[in-house]
Structure 1
Amino acid sequence: MSKLSCSENSFTPIDIFIEQVDIKGQYIQLAAPIQLSGQLNISELLALYPINEASDQSLIQIGIDEAGRGPLLGSVNVAAAILPATWSGLIEEQPLLSTPLSILTDSKQLSEKKRDILYPLVQQNAVGHIVADIPAAVIDQVNILQATMLGMRLCAEVLLRSVAKYLNAMDKRHFEVLIDGNRCPDLDYGALALSGIERSAIDCQAWVKGDARHTSIAAASILAKVSRDKTMYALDAQYPEYGIAKHKGYPTRAHMEAVATLGVLPEHRRSFAPVRKALES
C-alpha cells in the first residue's frame, strides 16, 4: 500500500534553491543559486503507474533534456518530465496519438508557436515535471558541460526524492532516467538510497537525439526550451537595446555588435571566448 490514497488529488509543488552541491563527497559553494521549480501529482502517479501483480513492480520513465548550451548569455535550462504510463514510449510507436500532446516531438523540430501551445499542456498533463535554471555565474564556475550535467543530476534527484516521499518499502517501483545526449550524470546514489530508492531501482540511459525518440524526453525538451525563452524575453524587456528577443543569447552578428557597442551584461557568460574577448578589448 502507498502512503497516499489514489482517490486524493495531490499536487505537490517543487520550488527549491540550491546554493551548495555535494560532488563526490565534497561540498561546493555555487557562485549563484540554482532554482528548481515544478510539481508532482502523486495521486495520478500512483493511479497511472500501478504495481504489476505478476512482477510486483512498476516502471516509471523520467525524460530529461536541456536548452541553452550554446548561447553567450543567460542560463542553461534543464527539465525533467514524467508522462502518464500509456503515453511514455518511443515517438515512432505513436503513444501520444489521440492525446493532448499528439503533436509533441523534438522541440527543435517544432515552431515557436507550437512549442508555446505544448508548454502548458505538458505542465497540465505530466504526472511530474521540474525545470532547473543554472545561471551564467555557475556556468562560468564549473564550465557549460558540467553545469548541464549538474542540472540533469539535480532534476533527476529532486524528482526521484519527491516521488520517494509518498512510497513505502512495499512499493517496488523502478525508474528509467532517460537523458538526451551521450552521457548520464553522476547521480548521488547514496543520498537516493537514504530516501528509499536503491541504486538497483534506477536505470539511467543516454540517448543521442533522444528528444526525437522518447516522448518523455520530448516533453522535457519543450519545458526546457520554452522556459529558457521566457527568461530571454524577460532580459529583452530589461535590456531592449541588445535585441535579445531575436537572438536569444546566441552569437549572431547583431548580438556581437551590441556587445561591442554597449558592453557585456552581468548575465553574459564570461568564460565563453567571444565574451572574454569583448571584456579584454
Structure 2
Amino acid sequence: MSKQHSTDSSMTPIKVSIESIDIKGQYIQLAAPIHLSGRLNVSELLTQYSVDRQQDLTQPMLQIGIDEAGRGPLLGSVNVAAAILPAAWSGLIEEQPLTGTPLSILTDSKQLSEKKRDILYPLVKQYAIGYVIADIPAAVIDQVNILQATMLGMRLCTETLIEVVAQQFAMACEMTADAVKPLQVEVLFDGNRCPELDFAKLAKCGVEQANIDCQAWVKGDARHTSIAAGSILAKVSRDEAMYALDTQHPEYGIAKHKGYPTRAHMEAIDTYGVLSEHRRSFAPVRKALES
C-alpha cells in the first residue's frame, strides 16, 4: 500500500448523517445529527477476503475492532471508531502480528504518548482496509445518556461498515456472475458489553445474525490490534475536535484539559459560563447552570 491511496479509485468514501433512529423499538428524532465518516479500500478488501469459489463457499472471517474516546469529559462529543486491518495484521497484540509493519508501535491509545498517537492516526487511516469514525454530539449524550450514546455510536459504526462491505462483495459477485457467499464477521468491542445491532436491517444487506459474532473485551484495546486501531482513530479524532473548539473559546483552556473536569475547567465554567458544547446532563455542568 502506498501514498497513491489518496487518489485511488478503489477507495470508497463513507459519509453518513443520522438524524433519527430506532432505539430499542422506539423511533426517535435525535437532538442533533450524528456524523459518520471513513472509507473502504475495495481492492484490498476483495483481494484479502476472497476465496476460491470452486473449493469453498464460505467467506473468510472479517474482523472489525471498535473503541470509543470521551465518555468522561463534560464537554464535546464522544467519538467511536471502527477499523478493519489487513487480515495478516489482525490478531492478539501479544502475538505481535504488527511486527515489521508501519503500525508496529500500535497498542492501546492510552498507553501511547500523544506524539505517537498523532503518528499512528494517518497510518491507521492509510493502511486499514476500512474504517468509520462516529461523532456523537453533546446534545445526543444529554438526550439518551452517555452509556446509550456510546452504544449507539458503536452500533452505527458496526452497521455502517458491514453494510458497505456487504454491498461491495455483492457488486463484485454480480460483475463476475458468482453467487454471493455469506459474509462472516467478527466484531470486537472494547468494554464489557456489546451494542444491540439492527439485525433486520443487516439481513436486508445479505448478512444474517448467525454470521455476525459480537464479542466484548475488557481492556480490548490492549489485546486486539483491530480494537487498538479503533482506539487511535477515536482518541485522535476527538482531540482534534477539542483543539478546534479551543481556537473558538481560548479562555476555557480546552487544549489542555480536553473537556475533562479539571480544576481549571471548572473555574472557566464559573467565570465564563456554559458553552453549547457542554453536556448539560453531567452533574458539574447542571450545577453550574442552576447556580
Which category describes the TM-score, using the shorter chain as reference length?
over 0.9
Q: Displacement, 1:165?
A: 0.7
Is residue 239 of structure 1 aligned with residue 249 of structure 2?
Answer: yes
Aligned residues: 274
How big is the shift at 1:24?
Answer: 3.2
1:222-237 alignment, distance < 5 Å: 222-237=232-247
Number of the residue aligned with 1:201: 211
**What's 2:87 paired with?**
85
Corresponding residue to 1:147 among 143, 146, 149: 149
Distance 2:259 2:251 in 1: 13
8 A Cα contact 1:51 1:172, kept in partner: no
Instruction: Show structure 1 runs of 5+ residues with no match.
Output: 1-7
Q: Provide the aligned C-alpha RMSD in A.
A: 1.2
Task: Report if the CA contact (8 A) 1:58-1:172 is conserved.
Answer: no
Q: Deviations over 1:213-238 (max 9, x none)?
A: 00000000000000000000000000
Task: For residue 50 of structure 1, report the CA deviation from its aligned partner.
Answer: 2.3
SS of equivalent to 2:61: strand
SS at match of 1:249: coil
Q: Is the 8 A contact 2:61 2:185 kept in 1?
A: yes
Q: Look up the equivalent residue of 1:181 and give its one-letter code.
A: G
Q: Which amino acid is the alignment partner of residue 280 of structure 2?
A: R
Q: Paired residue for 1:3?
A: none
Which secondary structure does the structure 2 equivalent of 1:149 belong to?
Answer: helix
User: Corresponding residue for 2:14?
Assistant: 14
Instruction: Report Cα offsets for 1:122-173 as digits up to 9, x if no partner.
Output: 0000000000000000000000000000000000000000011122352233
Question: Displacement, 1:57?
Answer: 2.8
Give the equivalent residue in structure 2 for 1:185. Answer: 195
Residues 51 and 171 of structure 1 are in contact (CA less than 8 Å); yes or no, is this contact kept in structure 2? no
Equivalent residue number for residue 68 of structure 1: 70
TM-score w.r.t. the length of structure 2 is 0.92
> Which stretch of structure 1 is more off in the superposition, 200-209 or 18-27?
18-27
- Give the 3-state SS of the residue equivalent to 1:173 in structure 2: coil
> Which one-letter code corresponds to 2:25 in the other structure?
G
SS in 2 for 1:99: coil
Identical residues among aligned pairs (%): 76
Q: C-alpha distance in 2, partners of 1:269/1:131?
A: 20
TM-score between both structures, scaled by the size of structure 1: 0.95
Q: Which amino acid aligns with 1:274?
A: P
Shift of 1:55: 6.7
User: Structure 2 regions of 5+ residues with no counterpart?
Assistant: 1-7, 171-178
Contact kept? 1:17, 1:35, Cα under 8 Å: yes
Equivalent residues of 1:82, 1:127 under 8 A apart: yes
- Does 1:213 pair with 2:223? yes
Aligned amino acid, residue 185 of structure 2: F
SS in 1 for 2:169: coil
Read off the aligned partner of 2:158 and give its amino acid letter.
A
Contact 1:9 1:41 in 2 (8 A): no
Q: Distance in 1 between matches of 2:228 and 2:128?
A: 12
CA distance in 2, matches of 1:56, 1:158: 22
One-letter amino acid of the counterpart of residue 45, structure 2: L
Q: Return the match for 1:94 from 86, 92, 96.
A: 96
Q: Is the 8 A contact 2:166 2:183 kept in 1?
A: no
Structure 2 Cα separation of the partners of residues 89 and 177 of structure 1: 12
Instruction: Give me the whole-angstrom Cα distance separating, in 1, the residues matched to 2:58 and 2:75.
Output: 48
Instruction: Report if the CA contact (8 A) 2:182-2:207 is conserved.
Output: no
Amino acid at match of 1:224: A
CA-to-partner distance for each residue in 1:100-139, whole Å, 9 max, x for gaps? Answer: 0000000000000000000000000000000000000000
Provide, for residues 36-91 of structure 1, a one-character-per-residue CA deviation record: whole Å limited to 9, x for no partner.
00001111111112227457331000000000000000000000000000000000
**SS class of match (1:171):** coil
The letter for the 2-side match of 1:193 is A
Name the SS for the 1:219 alignment partner: helix
d(CA) in 2 for partners of 1:278 and 1:170? Answer: 57
Return the alpha-carbon distance in structure 1 between the equivalents of residues 284 and 145 of structure 2.
15
Residue 175 of structure 2 is matched in structure 1 by none
Please state if 1:117 is matched with 2:119: yes
